[in-house]
Amino acid sequence: MTDKKINLEEYKTNFPNSRKVYKDVEGLRVPYRAITISDTSGEDREFHVYDTTGPYTEPSFEIDLQVGLPKHRYEWITERANSYQSDKRFKDNVTQLVYAKNGIITKEMEFAAARENSFTDSENIVTAELVRSEIASGRAIIPANIKHPELEPMVIGKKFLTKVNSNIGNSPVKSDIEEELDKLLWSVRWGADTVMDLSTGKNIFETREAIIRNSPVPIGTVPIYEALEKVNGKAEELNYEIFRDVIISQAEQGVDYFTIHAGLRLSFIPTTTNRLTGIVSRGGSIIAKWCLAHHKENFLYDNFDDLCDIMKKYDVSFSLGDGLRPGSIADANDEAQFLELKTLGELTARAQQKDVQVMIEGPGHVPLNKIKENVTLEEEYCNEAPFYTLGPLVTDIAPGYDHITSAIGAANIGSYGTSLLCYVTPKEHLGLPNKDDVKDGLVAYKIAAHASDISKGHDFAVQRDNELSKARFEFRWLDQFNLSLDPYKSKEFHDETLPQESAKSAHFCSMCGPNFCSMKITQDIRDYAATHNIKDIKIAVEEGMKEKSKQFAETGGKIYIKK
Amino acid sequence: MTDKKINLEEYKTNFPNSRKVYKDVEGLRVPYRAITISDTSGEDREFHVYDTTGPYTEPSFEIDLQVGLPKHRYEWITERANSYQSDKRFKDNVTQLVYAKNGIITKEMEFAAARENSFTDSENIVTAELVRSEIASGRAIIPANIKHPELEPMVIGKKFLTKVNSNIGNSPVKSDIEEELDKLLWSVRWGADTVMDLSTGKNIFETREAIIRNSPVPIGTVPIYEALEKVNGKAEELNYEIFRDVIISQAEQGVDYFTIHAGLRLSFIPTTTNRLTGIVSRGGSIIAKWCLAHHKENFLYDNFDDLCDIMKKYDVSFSLGDGLRPGSIADANDEAQFLELKTLGELTARAQQKDVQVMIEGPGHVPLNKIKENVTLEEEYCNEAPFYTLGPLVTDIAPGYDHITSAIGAANIGSYGTSLLCYVTPKEHLGLPNKDDVKDGLVAYKIAAHASDISKGHDFAVQRDNELSKARFEFRWLDQFNLSLDPYKSKEFHDETLPQESAKSAHFCSMCGPNFCSMKITQDIRDYAATHNIKDIKIAVEEGMKEKSKQFAETGGKIYIKK
């Protein structure tokens, strides 16, 4: 592994007019990105957004990909280990869930809670106690393997901000550790809250090691991919022992959550025969192949308790896989899908009983009218464990644009309570995503997650819409760009039509031109209202407007005045 | 006007493996695009999609932009005029609504109904009588000025396919007739069902003339833009006489629908003062400025009956404008917006009473949780007149990606019953769209409209998802590309990872590589089920699977066999 191709300077550079800041919360350094904007008064102030970039955007941080990130969390973990070493409740059990159930608020909970709040709120809406109680109830998780001390913990649950997952990882067709590491850094730069390493090609172990050591966000994997490589791709040669070795090795490395397809039972397989697109989950099809070859129950189902016992030693969270998720609109919400979901509910109860954190994976391809049922049944069957969905795509007819077809579904399923949205890139169904695709996928999913959050009334989310709209309304073009999800693109688009520097302070845009602007007239109406203390509409109409028209006539009807 | 810059050859070329075909329906030539696909058996067959491209994609059609399109509809219009000239019900009244109310099925209704059905269905689900009755009730319109004989009529209403509108038109900052004509041809190529010419710059008349004469789809305008040019941009100098002249002139040219902001009453203006972004509709702010300057009621409201009398002579449809639509998430569903909507309802009743067709414009910027209320109130206030919305954008934070933020809103509002979705391009709020933006906006909106349609269960729409998914499942890569909304991009993306020609017939993709594919195992399961006549899940598990595992063992567990 070398870093010759990775542009580290780019990763150290913050977004325009932005700097990395930390808020001190009970001694914890909670990260935010501060965007400098011009206030209406003309004075600068800062607006703060949630930040997933880790230390990379600290100017003083020296990136060394060979060494990895600082292990800030190490101290929390060792202190906790020392505190509770003689307490038998925590013997071979270090999960956030076991602490939560026992009323203990961990540093991870404090940290994850703090960053859910806006920077300026003095009173936190999301408290550490809320995070603890949500985890204790199984409605939230903090994926945080004790072997991943580089992590900045975050919480996944329906009462918190909707999170976004990015998938990276090599394939047999294309494989390069450095390229995947570059995608990791790129993912967190563009707001990925979690990242899955789905490598299936060469150097799976080394690729994952590089990713975990350099990741400030939770890393998930699908261990059966590596297990399959161990048996040279022959699914029927898999067995639980091989799989067990893989998960122990990955848990030791620090993987924070495992996708495990334990809910795909032998008896469900025939229900897929009449589907239009059968089984499309790679993990699901591996298990199905194994079950068929041996005519035996899924070995992950049979050994689920042992999996729990291993995972609770590290605090690896389950992401219970939906091996029978629909691969097309035609197959959405069918018998196969919901048989498996119900089984995931049964496994959720078993895992939670053993204090292992659980989230549930969901589809996939679902038409708009069938999305809500997915959330309703997931919550009913799975004790409201956090739902983690791939999109869903709301139509199959737009390969090349599936970041859009799926962002539509994701925004909807998020607004119904899904906690983590797995992105889909424009390359879905067609090829392997490059960096541009990763960015396009992430921006589409930040939109979806944010749209869910404002739909649910999350104040921290709504603030950003209001700041941006205010900047737009006041023709603070640079503020509008810098408050946006992609300051580079918004400025570039503005430059295309009005490249002159002066246009950035102009009180008009290219749509209506300088002679007429709808925004200006509103300001005029408002200024009038403000100076005249209009509180009552009728007074405004009966009296104010009369004066207004007189004033208009006096000034020659001009309301458009450049600064 | 010359066509030196317009690549006519491109417009004559059909999408890959596609040809323009006509279905004979009662003597009418109803257009479709036929996509040749390989059937499972290996034999070619055709799949037909709705077609908006007009004669441009007919190989034998000689495009002459100076002359315009053939006036196919002229005969229908003159025949009808002759038939009903002595009938006083139709004196100075030629609207589809007046015919519908009187039980007359026009050729426009027959044509518009026919194209709502799939090519192969022998029995039409959407009948001309259904179209007639929906128009008669006010729930649907066919925008079809009798002076626009080049038109291929289409129907807008919630019982029909969701339609998409593209906005084109020059601005004072950028103006070129040819460029706008190019965008018209480009728009219909990418599926625009209607096009609005929003020109505000030079040569408004000539630009519109070129657009109408060359448009196979309904053309809409916002006449107040031209009226404002007539008074050199001074809104306060407007009056009804100037406006009236403009609409007569535009009606004579053949404009099919007018956006008229007649519902923005003087007394509503003060309700905008506490908004975050005030009035953002250009037409709305012109009217507000005029009302303020004169302290008088909106002259469009006061002269609404006269407008109706003019428009029914040509059958220009109202698109009642939402001058007080919210310009930000913060202002969604507020008092100003709904006061105006209620007034639009009052005007709808007046227009429909005079037999003028009406649709209602809607927002704008609306969070997901407030979208449904817009449709509910529109239907309640406006007698279920077709709803025509701009997006809505579900968040304000993503300038540069507002085709996505708004496609999310559009898909939702469409699924609730909105009939026409006005596209938003990635350049919204930032600059003027170029051809790439027009295409990106249209594809995003075809996705939104289609997602609405399959959510509502429109069979003609669902068929395409199923065909594409079947092609995907069967590794018919070229069919998958050609059935998609953008065959060029989907192929290009596939080529990026697997450029070899052989990959187009390979039974794998770049995601999993050749050694394992989830699709294949499903086919295997299915083949097994088919040959063994499995009907019962238990039998399948108890007996079938046993044999299956035996078979697997015999073949060395290989299920992946290349053709």
How do residues B439-492 score in pLDDT, each as one tens digit? 999 999 999 999 999 999 999 999 999 999 999 998 899 999 999 999 999 999
Cis peptide before B392 (omega within 30 of 0): yes
> In this complex, do B552 and A292 lie within 8 Å of one another by their Cβ atoms?
yes
Cα separation values, A281 from A163, A264, A337, A470, A541, Å: 22, 11, 12, 44, 63
Task: Give percent of chain B above pLDDT 90.
Answer: 80
Contacts of A368 in chain B (CB under 8 A): 411-412, 415, 451-452, 454-455
pTM score: 0.94
> Sign of the C-alpha dihedral, residues A101, A105, A111, A115?
positive
- Given B430, B509, B557, which is nearest A490 (Cβ)? B430
Is A555 part of the contact surface with chain B (CB cutoff 8 Å)? no
Residue where the block lists tokens 């993912």: A187
Does the structure show a pLDDT above 70 at B4?
no
The H or E element spanning position B204 is helix B204-213
pLDDT at site B279? 93
- Given A267, A282, A481, which is nearest B518 (Cβ)? A282
> In this complex, do B513 and A171 lie within 8 Å of one another by their Cβ atoms?
yes
Contacts of B405 in chain A (CB under 8 A): 447, 451
pLDDT band at B201 (very low <50, low <70, confident <90, very high): confident
> In this complex, do B509 and A430 lie within 8 Å of one another by their Cβ atoms?
yes
Distance of CA A300 to the CA centre of its chain: 27
Is A551 part of the contact surface with chain B (CB cutoff 8 Å)? no
Regions of chain A with pLDDT less than 50: 1-3, 533-542, 544, 552, 555-563
Distance of CA A474 to the CA centre of its chain: 31
Helices A459-473 & A435-455, crossing angle to 10 degrees?
100
Strand partners, B317: B257
Helices A402-415 & A371-381, crossing angle to 10 degrees?
50
- Given B396, B411, B490, which is nearest A399 (Cβ)? B490
- Contact in structure between A247 and A224 (CB atoms under 8 Å): no
Lowest mean pLDDT segment, chosen from A316-330, B17-31, B34-48, B78-92: B34-48
Q: How far is B368 from chain A (nearest CA, A)?
A: 5
Mutation target among B33, B469, B502, B507 for the A interface, most CBs of A within 10 A: B469
Does the structure show a pLDDT above 50 at B554?
yes
pLDDT at site A499? 82
Cα separation values, B15 from A77, A556, B356, Å: 60, 55, 38
pLDDT at site B507? 65
- Given B295, B473, B541, which is nearest A266 (Cβ)? B541
> In this complex, do A284 and B201 lie within 8 Å of one another by their Cβ atoms?
no
Cα separation values, B547 from A143, A236, B532, B540, B542, Å: 42, 15, 10, 10, 9
- Amino acid letter for position A458: H
> In this complex, do A541 and B269 lie within 8 Å of one another by their Cβ atoms?
yes
Looking at chain B, which residue has its C-alpha nearest residue A498? B431
Q: How far is B90 from chain A (nearest CA, A)?
A: 40
* 3-state DSSP of A96-160: HHHHHHCCCCCHHHHHHHHCCCCCCCCCCCCCHHHHHHHHHHCCEECCCCCCCCCCCCCCEECCC
Find the radius of gyration of the CA atoms of chain A: 26
Is B481 part of the contact surface with chain A (CB cutoff 8 Å)? yes
Is B544 part of the contact surface with chain A (CB cutoff 8 Å)? yes
pLDDT at site B518? 63
> In this complex, do B549 and A462 lie within 8 Å of one another by their Cβ atoms?
no
Looking at chain B, which residue has its C-alpha nearest residue A559? B289
- Contact in structure between B168 and B124 (CB atoms under 8 Å): no
Mutation target among A161, A469, A480 for the B interface, most CBs of B within 10 A: A469
Is B191 part of the contact surface with chain A (CB cutoff 8 Å)? no
Contacts of B234 in chain A (CB under 8 A): 557
Is B551 part of the contact surface with chain A (CB cutoff 8 Å)? no
Looking at chain B, which residue has its C-alpha nearest residue A440? B401
Chains A & B: contacts with CB separation below 8 Å: 472
Is B270 part of the contact surface with chain A (CB cutoff 8 Å)? yes
The contacts of residue B14 (CB under 8 Å, 6+ apart) are B20, B33, B57
Contacts of B510 in chain A (CB under 8 A): 171, 173-174, 430-432
Q: Establish how many alpha carbons lie within 13 A of residue A80's alpha carbon, considering only the half-sphere containing its beta carbon.
A: 19
pLDDT band at B531 (very low <50, low <70, confident <90, very high): low
Please state the φ and ψ torsions of residue A397, each to the nearest 5 degrees. -90, 10
pLDDT at site A502? 78
Average pLDDT, chain B: 91
Is A161 part of the contact surface with chain B (CB cutoff 8 Å)? no
pLDDT band at B536 (very low <50, low <70, confident <90, very high): very low
Is B349 part of the contact surface with chain A (CB cutoff 8 Å)? no
Q: How far is B148 from chain A (nearest CA, A)?
A: 28
Contacts of A441 in chain B (CB under 8 A): none
Strand partners, A33: A20, A49
The H or E element spanning position B189 is helix B177-189
Strand partners, B335: none
- Amino acid letter for position B229: E
CA distance A374 to B515: 32
- Given B295, B451, B526, which is nearest A408 (Cβ)? B451
Looking at chain B, which residue has its C-alpha nearest residue A528? B273
- Residue B441: left (phi > 0), alpha (psi -120 to 50), or beta? alpha
How do residues B446-458 score in pLDDT, each as one tens digit? 999 999 999 999 9
| 3-class secondary-structure state, position A272 | helix
DSSP for B311-349, please give it.
HHHHTPEEEE--TT--SSGGGTT-HHHHHHHHHHHHHHH
Contacts of A460 in chain B (CB under 8 A): none
Is A57 part of the contact surface with chain B (CB cutoff 8 Å)? no
Is B286 part of the contact surface with chain A (CB cutoff 8 Å)? yes
How do residues A142-151 score in pLDDT, each as one tens digit? 999 999 999 9
> In this complex, do B521 and A174 lie within 8 Å of one another by their Cβ atoms?
no
CA distance A330 to A324: 14
Q: Are strands B28-38 and B44-50 parallel, antiparallel or unpaired?
A: antiparallel
Is A561 part of the contact surface with chain B (CB cutoff 8 Å)? no
Instruction: Work out the burial of residue B91: count CB atoms within 10 Å of its CB; fewer than 13 is exposed, 13-18 middle, 19 or more buried.
Output: exposed
Structure tokens at B423: 């596209």
The H or E element spanning position A211 is helix A204-213
Is A427 part of the contact surface with chain B (CB cutoff 8 Å)? yes
Does the structure show a pLDDT above 60 at B423?
yes
Q: Establish how many alpha carbons lie within 13 A of residue B456's alpha carbon, considering only the half-sphere containing its beta carbon.
A: 23
- Contact in structure between B368 and B398 (CB atoms under 8 Å): no
pLDDT band at B528 (very low <50, low <70, confident <90, very high): low
Q: How far is B436 from chain A (nearest CA, A)?
A: 12
Strand partners, A38: A44
How do residues B304-326 score in pLDDT, each as one tens digit? 999 999 999 999 999 999 999 99
CA distance A284 to A281: 5
Q: What's the rounded mean pLDDT across residues B180-206? A: 95
Is B294 part of the contact surface with chain A (CB cutoff 8 Å)? yes
Is A178 part of the contact surface with chain B (CB cutoff 8 Å)? no
